[in-house]
Amino acid sequence: MLSFVAGMVNVTGFLFMGKLTTNVTGHFAYFVYDLSVAEFWKGLIYFLYLFAFLLGSFSSGLLIEIANYYQKHNRYLAPTLLECAALFTVWAANTFFVGLLPLDITACILLFAMGLQNSFVTKISNSVVRTTHLTGLFTDLGIELSQLLYVKRNHYETQKPQLKNSVRLRLFIITFFFLGGLVAGYCYVEQHLQINTLLIAIVILLVGLFYDAFRFFYIRNKRHYENHHPRRKHKRTIRRQSPHSH
């Protein structure tokens, strides 16, 4: 879901202002180039792009650490809501106040949002998954595919299930990033939604939050019920047993 949203934001940002907003590698190259030719004002713009992504990542990490300190059940609620707020700000500013928000500031807000998302997904997956850019994903995928070819020769048999799961996960993320971009391009160009395409991304994020909240409360209430009604739980266990088990 999050990689789908990242793909949507990436394509929408590019179509709207000609800038990529889900990673900073290219922006860093432009930043260094502008400094090398003494174009300091242009370099400052790219520095702001880098700082916005960093600030998003820092903010997400800080919010998660605060939630951990207070033992909140959903540590990723605040970063996700902040990402929604950032995307909504871009949409509202460019819908109701056209021309008021400079494109460079718009790019900074989107980079901030993607920094937020990349940070909390990295925390969720213990630094295994990144959803907002594909460079690392393709690198890791290539390494793991090469290991699969030499499973027996290099004695990776015990790691084979883990390798397969990892390859499957990375292909899943790449596919949904692609699909998110495809949907965004279709909605932006063919359906003439333009910047309104961001609203779809916001809705997807909110639906994901509601689903996680529903799932959490459902599981918690189920456990609470079973702990306070042990007899019914015991009866269900007996019914599930085979009559030949005795």
> Which sequence spans correspond to the domains of the chain?
2-129+181-239
Q: Which of 107, 94, 93 is nearest to 9 (CA)?
A: 107
The token pair at 149 is 């070819």
Residue 157 has pLDDT above 90, yes or no: no
Q: How far apart are CA 73 and CA 236, in angstroms?
A: 29
Residue 233: half-sphere exposure toward Cβ, Cα within 13 Å: 9
Residue 136: per-residue pLDDT: 83
**Confidence at 243, pLDDT banded by 50, 70, 90:** low
Q: How far apart are CA 117 and CA 101, in angstroms?
A: 23
**Confidence at 242, pLDDT banded by 50, 70, 90:** low
Helices (H), 97-134: 103-124
pLDDT, tens digit (0-9, with 9 covering 90-100), for 8-24? 999 999 999 999 898 89
**Confidence at 239, pLDDT banded by 50, 70, 90:** low
Q: What is the pTM of this model?
A: 0.85
Q: How far apart are CA 237 and CA 46, in angstroms?
A: 62
Q: How far apart are the first and last CA of the chain?
A: 47
Residue 94: per-residue pLDDT: 93
Residue 53: per-residue pLDDT: 96
The token pair at 61 is 């990490």
The single-letter code of the amino acid at 131 is: T
**Confidence at 232, pLDDT banded by 50, 70, 90:** low
Residue 179: per-residue pLDDT: 96
Residue 237 has pLDDT above 60, yes or no: no
Residue 216: per-residue pLDDT: 73
Residue 134 has pLDDT above 70, yes or no: yes
Give the best-scoring range by mean pLDDT among 79-88, 137-146, 148-157. Answer: 79-88
Question: Residues 182, 184, 185, 186: is their CA dihedral positive or negative?
Answer: positive
Tally of CB atoms within 10 A around 192: 8
